[in-house]
Amino acid sequence: MRFSVKTGAPLLALALALSACGTSGGDDEEASSGGGEAGTCEDVAIGYFGALTGAAANLGINIRNGVQLAVDQFNEENADCQVSLEEYDSAGDPNQATGLATQAIGDDSVIGIVGPAFSGESDTAGPIFAEGGLPTISASATNPDLSQNGWDTFHRVLGNDASQGPAAATYIADVIKSEKVFVVDDASAYGAGLAEIVEESAGDAVVGTDTIQTGQTDFSATVTAIRSSGADSVFFGGYYAEAGLLVQQMRAAGVEATFVVADGVKDPGFIEAAGDAAEGTIITCPCLPPEEEQEFYAAFEEAFGAAPATYSAEAFDAANVMLEGILEGNTDRESLLEWINDYSGEGITKTITFDEDGEPENISVWAYKVENGEIVADQEIETN
């Protein structure tokens, strides 16, 4: 943003500055440089839909940053096709999502949405996007039911709980060779759904279950239950904040069981919260450990001053699917939707193609391990 503005135009400058703050895109520059030549790319935006404020803000910001990075890289490479990013901050609240989704379908320049981030807001926003024909790709909503609502605009780039849950159970049984599994969940739609599937898949090996609440910090009763069950592995369905606290309290109480968690915990915040207690934790994730990751990692770190966190890479992939489509000239919703439905390409997390429900077709679930304070790839989990 330039501040060497001639006198006489301060008001205009202020207005520009304000709107630039609002959308954080290259929209204005393009407009002021008298676009027009860009032709097909004029006035095209993709949206990020999810929490940026409120209790779930950190997960949302991870995703937004992934999208932001993709858009910035795209705009840098394609000077004649500038795409702007619209943010729809739902605070993860299904109620706010309704108005924002309605707003999004009313804005003709927005032709694709990365999101909604969570399953709950997807439930209210999904039908609205379907009605407006606005294609969406979620980088994080894993509730299996979402793809079964008949919303033809719905897609996601990560495996749902139904694919990840059995993989986690397989790993626990075949690799850890655990005979006694204790299953804990955080009563969230994501965590409880996942835990239920793991519980079913693990069958008789389950020696106990408990449910905690998100936001809770004292898990002493749960830790006591784990210990007295004699479990040699603990599966936790939930997000990294509670996972960090739980594993730390387990270790402090002398519980040595292997801690197994899913993609909601694949975040530096987990290690930050758990410290040394995180060592040896197994994290399953329906995402490949790709070679490109290094490049993505570096670019992300440079742009946002922090390592990519949960779902950042998925968001980057989701945005790139749309951006490629825009570059190919699909600058309205209908053609972009078609583009996404037919898409096939290499993302940094997986090879991306969608089945007719909008689910990713190639789901490979990998196990990661925390070693020396880093989350590193362990092995691919065979699922059948």
Partner 1 sequence: MSEPHIPLREGSTAGGVPASTVGQTDDMGRNRFGWDRLALSRRVTALPRPAKWALIGLFVVLLYLLPLLEIPILSTPDTDFGAVLFTVASYVLVALGLNVVLGYAGLLDLGYVGFYAVGAYTVAVLGSLQAQLSWWLLIPLAVVITTISGILLGAPTLRVRGDYLAIVTLGFGEIIRLTALNTEWLGAAKGITGVPRPPSVELFELPHLQWEGATAVIDLDDKTKFLVFGVADQAPYYWLALTVIFIVLGADRMLRLSRVGRAWEATREDEDAAELMGVPTFKFKLLAFACGAFIGGLSGALFASRQGFINPESFQLLLSILFVAAVVVGGAGNRWGVIMGAIVVAYLPERFRGFEEWRLLVFGMALLILANFRPQGLIPPRRTRRAQAVDEQLDALEEGTDRV
Partner 2 sequence: MSFLFNNFVELTVTGLVLGAVYGLVALGYTLVYGVLQLINFAHSEVWMFGSFAAVWVTVALGVAPGSAMPVVIGVLLLALLAAMTVSGGVALLLERVAYRRLIRLDAPKLVALISAIGASFALAEIMGLRDRVAGWIGLRDTLDPYVRSARDNTRFQNPLETEGLFTVGGYTVSNVDVIIIVSAVLMMVALDQFIRRTRTGRGIRAVAQDSEAAALMGVNRNRIIRATFLVGGIMAGAAALLYLMRFGVTRWNAGFLLGVKAFTAAVLGGIGNVRGALLGGFVLGLAENYGSALIGSEWRDVVAFLLLVVILLFRPTGLLGESLGRARA
- The contact set with partner 1 (CB under 8 A) reads 18, 21-22, 52-54, 57, 88-89, 92-96, 98-103, 105-106, 119-120, 123-124, 127-128, 130-132, 143, 145, 149, 187-189, 191-193, 211, 213
13, 17, 225, 303: residue in contact with partner 2 (rule CB under 8 A): 225
40-48, 215-223, 291-299, 332-340 -> range binding partner 2 (CB under 8 A): 215-223
219-227, 292-300, 310-318, 332-340 -> range binding partner 2 (CB under 8 A): 219-227
244, 325, 347, 358: residue in contact with partner 2 (rule CB under 8 A): 244
Cβ at position 106, least distance to partner 1 in Å: 7
Chain centroid to CA 302: how far?
20
The answer to whether residues 60 and 117 touch, using CB atoms and an 8 Å cutoff, is: yes
**Which of partner 1, partner 2, none sits in contact with 133, Cβ below 5 to 8 A by type?**
none
Q: Which is nearer to partner 1, 113 or 288 (CB)?
A: 113
CA distance to 181, 194, 257, 376, per residue, from 170 (Å) = 12, 14, 17, 19
Q: Which is nearer to partner 1, 54 or 280 (CB)?
A: 54
**Which of partner 2, partner 1, none sits in contact with 128, Cβ below 5 to 8 A by type?**
partner 1
9, 14, 79, 252: residue in contact with partner 2 (rule CB under 8 A): 252
Cβ at position 23, least distance to partner 1 in Å: 10
Half-sphere exposure of 72 (CA within 13 A, CB side): 14
**Which of partner 2, partner 1, none sits in contact with 98, Cβ below 5 to 8 A by type?**
partner 1
- Residue 4 main-chain phi, psi, to 5 deg: -85, 70
19, 32, 217, 362: residue in contact with partner 2 (rule CB under 8 A): 217
- Is 211 a binding residue for partner 2 by CB under 8 A? The answer is yes
Q: Which is nearer to partner 1, 93 or 317 (CB)?
A: 93
- Is 241 a binding residue for partner 2 by CB under 8 A? The answer is yes
Residues that bind partner 2 (CB under 8 A): 55, 57-58, 61, 187, 210-213, 215-225, 227-228, 241, 244-245, 248-249, 252, 254, 269, 272-275, 305-306
